[in-house]
């Protein structure tokens, strides 16, 4: 009986999915794959499930309406996370599509066990929450990597300023040795400056994309250089401050290592104790068996 109910539930879920695909005019898998590979080099395969979900999300995004405040916030976050080619509607639609892909399993689950169906619905809400929060995690990781590189960047700029005041030249030279995240941001900033945009505005855009207070201190000094207000003492002080900040960060990282080692040592000690307990227990049981 349970197998029959499960079969009916699966058929019902598939039927509902096909009806929704027809309503939202989701392209076929063949068309989705051809569109995805259009203009791309290489034979990198893409999961059919991902192609289907992306196609569903693209159609669904056209029907989503976000309020202006939320839309602007999402645009800012997507830009900071390096996802400037994704619109707020597309991002929201992708999160909702993934949640729907999980939640649809609640239909056959309800035919078998109602509690299982409720669990799938709860899991769908969890997936949506995690997808919408994933952008925050990406921003934090990117910002942390850029901030970790700032002491070296400030030191390099401080040395370069003794020979040249050309900010574009300094940024172009540094981005060749910069980390992946910071190099991407500097490339965008230099490109803005080269196409004739205001240099201080380009640095302001850099601040907005990264959203770091530490980077804002550096760009403020760079703006002063562009405006002709270079101060060797202020740059030397800034380089010293960032060097001390780097030392403090390294100390914090070093302090976390003993804690990790302590946890591993405790786990290893527990394993040794368990081994001795098992061996002694087996010997004790064997001895008692011989006595009786």
pLDDT at residue 27 in the model:
53
Measure the CA dihedral 125/131/134/136, to 10°.
-70
Record the tokens describing residue 46, joined without a space: 């893409």
Tell me how far apart the alpha carbons of residues 172 and 244 are, in angstroms, rounded to a whole number.
26
pLDDT at 167: 86
- Give the pLDDT score at 258: 62
Q: Is 33 exposed, middle or buried (CB count within 10 Å of its CB: 0-12, 13-18, 19+)?
A: middle
pLDDT at 287: 72
pLDDT tens, per residue, the chain with 292 residues: 556 555 565 666 566 656 665 555 555 545 445 444 544 444 455 565 566 666 777 777 777 888 888 888 888 888 777 777 788 888 888 888 888 888 877 877 777 777 777 888 888 899 888 888 888 888 888 888 888 888 888 888 888 888 888 888 888 888 888 888 888 888 888 888 888 768 888 888 888 888 888 888 888 888 888 888 878 888 888 888 888 887 877 777 767 666 656 666 777 778 878 787 777 777 777 776 655 5
Per-residue model confidence (pLDDT) at position 43: 46
pLDDT of residue 12: 60
Q: What does the pLDDT read at residue 42?
A: 45
């Amino acid at each position: 009986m349970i197998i029959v109910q499960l079969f009916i539930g699966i058929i019902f879920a598939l039927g509902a999915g096909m009806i929704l695909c027809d309503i939202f005019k989701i392209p076929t898998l063949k068309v989705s794959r051809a569109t995805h590979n259009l203009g791309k080099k290489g034979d990198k395969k893409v999961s059919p499930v991902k192609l289907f979900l992306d196609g569903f999300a693209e159609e669904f995004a056209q029907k989503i309406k976000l309020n202006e405040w939320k839309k602007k916030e999402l645009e800012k976050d997507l830009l900071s996370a390096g996802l400037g080619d994704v619109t707020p509607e597309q991002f929201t639609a992708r999160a909702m599509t993934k949640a729907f892909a999980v939640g649809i399993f609640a239909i056959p689950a309800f035919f078998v066990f109602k509690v299982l169906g409720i669990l799938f619905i709860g899991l769908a809400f969890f997936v949506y929450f995690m997808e919408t929060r994933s952008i925050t995690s990406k921003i934090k990781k990117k910002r942390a990597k850029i901030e970790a590189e700032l002491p070296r960047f400030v030191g390099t700029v401080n040395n370069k300023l003794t020979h040249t005041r050309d900010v574009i030249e300094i940024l172009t030279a540094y981005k060749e040795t910069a980390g992946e995240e910071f190099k991407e941001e500097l490339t965008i900033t230099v490109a803005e400056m080269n196409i004739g945009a205001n240099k201080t505005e380009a640095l302001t855009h850099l601040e907005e994309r990264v959203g770091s207070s530490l980077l804002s201190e550096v760009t403020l000094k760079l703006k002063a250089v562009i405006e002709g207000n270079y101060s060797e003492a202020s740059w030397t002080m800034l380089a010293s401050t960032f060097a001390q900040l780097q030392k403090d960060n390294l100390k914090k990282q070093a302090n976390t290592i003993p804690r990790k080692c302590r946890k591993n040592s405790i786990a290893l000690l527990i394993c040794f104790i368990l081994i001795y307990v098992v061996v002694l227990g087996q010997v004790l049981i064997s001895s008692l068996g011989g006595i009786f």
